[in-house]
Amino acid sequence: TAPFENPRAVVKKLLSEAQSEGQGATVRRSIGRHELRNLDPFLMLDEFSVSKPAGFPDHPHRGFETVTYMLEGAFTHQDFSGHKGTIRTGDVQWMTAGRGIVHSEMPASDGVQKGLQLWINLASKDKMIEPRYQELQSKDISYAEKDGVEVRIIAGEAFGVRSPVYTRTPTMYMDFTMQPGSQLHQPIPAGWNAFVYIIEGEGSFGRKNAAPATAHHCLVLGTDGDGLSVWNKSGAPLRFALAAGQPLNEPVVQQGPFVMNTRAEIQQAMEDYYYGRNGFEKARQWSSAA
């Protein structure tokens, strides 16, 4: 599309920093750090790079969705219902935890496995729905290319192409690769919170003469404006994820992997998990294979 009258500005820039998570794993967290707590409906964005034997062994989730996007390598996930699968480079697992999931997420091959895990909050009315998966193989992910810009559309619409993923909390999530000299003007629905996470290369976001932002940076966009404008004035490809979502405007009470609206509901979630009730029944007998 043509340049915007009013492209959204970059209002915050944060370098993701390594921290330990799971068992022996290191993640570079941006959203979810205290400097970037609330980007409603987004709760967390981790850039993970994990090698065996490290990983994310058996753990619960309630009240939100996790979207795992493999950048390199393979991860095997298995849950307490016997649902098991391996996601490889370019694949996506969109998991709606709802009332409760207990699963493990472990490297499936040798070497370093890299990817992004995004946590999207669910509205109060959806927090206790039955868990559900939407799994996309790389070859099935909507793809479009135009004037030196490629896009892989995990959720939402770009270049006139829409992803089949159903987003309970209205969300767009896409992976752009921009060749040197290319520019992008991607519409973002009014009022949605939006951010960019740079995976590789450098680019000018929001304004053509903006200082280039580089890999491992999360850029929060202002809420007013027509959408995201980007220029790749470097000599190398620029790759980044763009995510935007409709704010839920509800209270958030989080205790690790439980995200509800009140402290009482968090207390309930912890008891349900401990006693194996209200969606955690299968947690009583289950542990991931060796």
Ligand X SMILES: Nc1ccc(F)c(C(=O)c2c[nH]c3ncc(Cl)cc23)c1F
Tokens of 47: 């850039």
Shortest Cβ distance from residue 68 to ligand X (Å)? 5
Query: Shortest Cβ distance from residue 77 to ligand X (Å)?
Result: 7
**Closest CB to ligand X among residues 169, 204:** 169
Closer residue to ligand X (CB): 214 or 255:
255
Six-digit token pair at 283? 């947690």
User: Nearest approach, Cβ of 22 to ligand X (angstroms)?
Assistant: 3
Q: How far does Cα 162 stand from its chain's mean position?
A: 18
SS3 206: coil
b/e 81-98 (16+ beta carbons within 10 angstroms → b): eeeeeebeebbbbbbbbb
CB 236 within 8 A of CB 180: yes
In terms of C-beta density within 10 A (0-12 exposed, 13-18 middle, 19 or more buried), how is residue 290 classed? exposed
Closer to ligand X by CB, 46 or 91: give it.
46
Nearer to ligand X by C-beta: 116 or 238?
116
Give the separation between CA 125 and CA 146, rounded to whole angstroms.
Answer: 39
Residue closer to ligand X by CB (options 68, 182) is 68
Token pair 């892989």 is found at 152
Least distance (Å) between residue 57 CB and ligand X:
7
For the bound state, the minimum distance from the C-beta of residue 257 to ligand X, rounded and expressed in Å, comes to 4
Which positions touch ligand X (CB under 6 A)? Answer: 21-22, 27, 46, 48, 56, 59, 68, 75, 105, 117, 256-257
